Amino acid sequence: MSAQQPGRARTRVVSPLAVFGLALAAIAELSSVGLVGLSGWFISASAVAGATLYSTFSYVAPSGGVRSFALARIAANYCQRLVLHAVALRHLSGIRTGFFSSLADAPANRSRRLRTGDLLDRSMSDTETESMVLIRGIAPVVTFAIVAASGVAVAAFATTAGAVVLAAASLAAVLLTVVRERVKRTTADADAGRRSLRAEAVTAVDAWPEMASLGAIDRLRERILARLTTVADVEQTARARGFATDAAFGVLAAITLGAVAYAAAIIDHRDAPTVAFVALLAAGVLGTAAQLGAAVESIALAKLARRSRERLMEGPGDGQETPHIHAWWDSHELGFNDYRLPANPYRAARDVAVRVKRGGTLLVVGRSGTGKTTLLTALAEQLRQSSADGRPRARTRVSYVPVDDFLFTGTIGSNMRLADPGVTIKQVESALADLRLDRADISAGTPVGVGGRELSGGEQTRMRIARMLVAHPDVLIIDEPTAGLDDQTAKHVLGVLRERLPHSTFIFAMHPFTESAVHGQGSQILTLD
């Protein structure tokens, strides 16, 4: 085992290439601020020269400086995007590689829990958030620090008092950013309170007859109204504080510009072009400070994403050890033995052993809690690891469809390509038509929605089965293949499975009252009651 902590990437966020990208980002921002300041000086100097007779003002050098700043900004912006995105992509690849390596080394019970689609989807989202912290978080903070220091240094050559004002304003902008983030947290707490209140209200509506029979309606009403008032007060306070911080930032910018101009013109007796240059320089520095809020939020989100990913890998498993089972598949027969069913209220403890010929079907039947899912999960894991002689058999294709198999956000076609990247649109449409999903206007381009919420329960079941059809497995294991389907549709779907996969071995977990939907489909029945 590696000494590396689970889920940690072997790449670093700040590498030499990242430092180069940050330097380019700082150059691009300095060029922008310099362009604003020099343009203001150039325009003011031209106006003063135009108002003076016999002026010897030359526009060649200042206009050349303006063009140089503009070109430097364009070039540095383009290059820093290329470099920083390349670093972020390497970091993302490193995190994902580390995550999946740790997943492969994790204990079986924890690995099984992490292989569920929703957790994998959340982990991939967390890794993306973490990898983008260099671009969205670190780069703006570093850039502001460099621009603020450089702006104060340049302003000091023109007006010492103005440089002091600019330095103080930069520190005040940082403090306002911290206050803004605290206000955002208050708003997030209010949103969480509103979601909790909404869930409670929905539950109360569902339980209204029971609450009325108990005479608890008045107390329930008072409780919901009190919580609603609390949430409304928190939201109002958050909005007021947010408005106050935004107004404070605007006031800070106005005061800074006025104070810097006053210091340059009145205290240090500078001419109008210099005053314009220093004032616009201060405006550019404060404009850079406006990006700090989003940067600090991005850094905070990246930290939360990293902790979430590490908790997934380092946290306890599902509390159950993987049950022992000896299973094999030798292209002619599937079998398992040495599997012991524990005692429960429905049965005494006993050993289970089954053999199923190639192309046959095994129905695992039992009430909820009798261990159907546990058996199927253990069987799928063992078959993926071993052949009949216990040695790895890479060519055996085993597909396991749990009852809550995840449908990833995207289209029907993109979900189908998870099972077979080479599947064509025509093959996808054919599988959908065989399962009668085309009758619901579902095609390869139909959006699935988050977690499959755009599809009904029965459509989700058939979609999961269709995804496995295109993989052409040797062994197909499905937990509750008739979930959400009526008897007629269930018989049709399972008939399609056998028609399209005539030589595959099927193992289905069923409840006793749904067994009739596949009567005649199973060559064997294993009852766990």
Residue where a domain terminates, one of 287, 314, 341? 314
Q: What is the DSSP string of 159-221?
A: -HHHHHHHHHHHHHHHHHHHHHHHHHHHHHHHHHHHHHHHHHHHHHHHTHHHHHHTT-HHHHH
- Which amino acid does the sequence have at 128? E
Q: Are residues 464 and 409 in the same domain?
A: yes
- Cross-strand partners of 363: 508, 525
> Quick check: is 484 in a domain?
yes
Secondary-structure breakdown of the chain: helix, strand, coil percentages, each rounded to the nearest 5: 65, 10, 25
Q: What is the DSSP letter of 409?
A: S
Domain that holds residue 422: 326-527
328: phi then psi, degrees, rounded to nearest 5: -150, 160
475 in Cβ contact with 396 (< 8 Å): yes
> Quick check: is 432 in a domain?
yes
400 in Cβ contact with 467 (< 8 Å): no
Q: Are residues 372 and 445 in the same domain?
A: yes
469 in Cβ contact with 431 (< 8 Å): yes
> Quick check: is 142 in a domain?
yes
Q: Beta 398-401 vs 361-365: how paired, if at all? A: unpaired
- Calculate Rg over the CA atoms of the chain: 33
| pLDDT recorded at residue 362 | 87
Q: Which two tokens stand for residue 257?
A: 């510009």
| pLDDT recorded at residue 78 | 93
257 in Cβ contact with 282 (< 8 Å): yes
Q: Which parts of 91-151 are beta strand (E)?
A: none
> Quick check: is 91 in a domain?
yes
Give the Cα separation of 65 and 6 in Å (integer): 53
- Which amino acid does the sequence have at 484? G
Q: How many domains does the chain have?
A: 2
| pLDDT recorded at residue 71 | 93
521: phi then psi, degrees, rounded to nearest 5: -85, -30
- Cross-strand partners of 327: 336
Give the Cα separation of 327 and 393 in Å (integer): 13
Distances (CA, A) of 334 to 330, 340, 355, 468, 507: 7, 18, 6, 19, 10
Q: Are residues 186 and 209 in the same domain?
A: yes
Can you give the CATH number for the domain in which 503 is found? 3.40.50.300
Give the Cα separation of 281 and 296 in Å (integer): 24
Q: Are residues 291 and 350 in the same domain?
A: no
| pLDDT recorded at residue 395 | 55
292 in Cβ contact with 82 (< 8 Å): no
420: three-class secondary structure by DSSP: coil
Residues with Cβ within 8 Å of 344's Cβ and at least 6 positions away in sequence, in order, are: 369, 370, 371
Q: Are residues 372 and 441 in the same domain?
A: yes
Q: Are residues 74 and 185 in the same domain?
A: yes
Give the Cα separation of 270 and 61 in Å (integer): 21
Could you tell me which of 350, 401, 488, 514 has the C-alpha nearest to residue 522?
514
Give the Cα separation of 253 and 233 in Å (integer): 30
Q: Which two tokens stand for residue 481?
A: 């293949």
Q: Are residues 71 and 213 in the same domain?
A: yes
| pLDDT recorded at residue 149 | 92
| pLDDT recorded at residue 57 | 64
| pLDDT recorded at residue 79 | 93
Question: In angstroms, how far is CA 36 from the centroid of its own chain?
Answer: 38
Q: Sign (positive/negative) of CA torsion 516, 518, 521, 527?
A: negative
| pLDDT recorded at residue 513 | 54
Q: What angle do CA 362, 368, 374 make, to 5 degrees?
A: 60
Q: Are residues 97 and 244 in the same domain?
A: yes
Give the Cα separation of 13 and 94 in Å (integer): 10
- Which amino acid does the sequence have at 269? H
- Which amino acid does the sequence have at 300? A
Residues present in the chain in total: 529
> Quick check: is 383 in a domain?
yes
Residue where a domain terminates, one of 314, 346, 373? 314
Q: Please, what's the b/e burial string for 244-260 (b: 16 or more CB within 10 A of its CB; e: otherwise)?
A: ebeeebeebbeebbebb
Q: Are residues 303 and 449 in the same domain?
A: no
Q: Are residues 203 and 161 in the same domain?
A: yes
Q: Which two tokens stand for residue 460?
A: 């989700």
| pLDDT recorded at residue 222 | 78
Can you give the CATH number for the domain in which 44 is found? 1.20.1560.10
| pLDDT recorded at residue 522 | 53
> Quick check: is 2 in a domain?
no
> Quick check: is 1 in a domain?
no
Q: Are residues 443 and 365 in the same domain?
A: yes
Q: pLDDT tens per residue, the chain (529 residues)?
A: 334 444 444 445 567 888 898 999 999 999 999 888 888 888 888 887 766 655 566 777 788 888 899 999 999 999 999 998 888 888 888 877 777 676 656 555 555 555 555 566 667 777 788 888 888 888 999 999 999 999 899 988 888 888 898 899 889 888 888 887 777 666 666 666 666 667 666 666 666 666 666 666 777 777 778 777 877 777 777 777 778 877 888 888 889 888 888 888 888 888 888 888 888 888 888 888 888 888 888 888 888 888 877 776 665 444 455 578 888 888 788 888 888 888 777 677 888 888 888 888 888 888 877 888 888 888 888 887 754 444 444 456 888 888 777 777 788 888 888 888 888 888 888 888 888 888 888 888 888 877 777 888 888 888 888 888 888 888 888 888 887 788 788 888 888 888 888 888 898 888 765 555 555 555 788 888 7
211 in Cβ contact with 220 (< 8 Å): yes
Q: Are residues 194 and 299 in the same domain?
A: yes
Residue where a domain terminates, one of 253, 285, 314? 314
75: phi then psi, degrees, rounded to nearest 5: -65, -45
H helices of 351-483, in order, are: 372-385, 412-419, 425-434, 457-469
| pLDDT recorded at residue 239 | 75
For residue 290, with 0-12 CB atoms within 10 Å meaning exposed, 13-18 middle and 19 or more buried, which class applies?
Answer: middle
For residue 239, with 0-12 CB atoms within 10 Å meaning exposed, 13-18 middle and 19 or more buried, which class applies?
Answer: middle
> Quick check: is 511 in a domain?
yes
401 in Cβ contact with 408 (< 8 Å): no
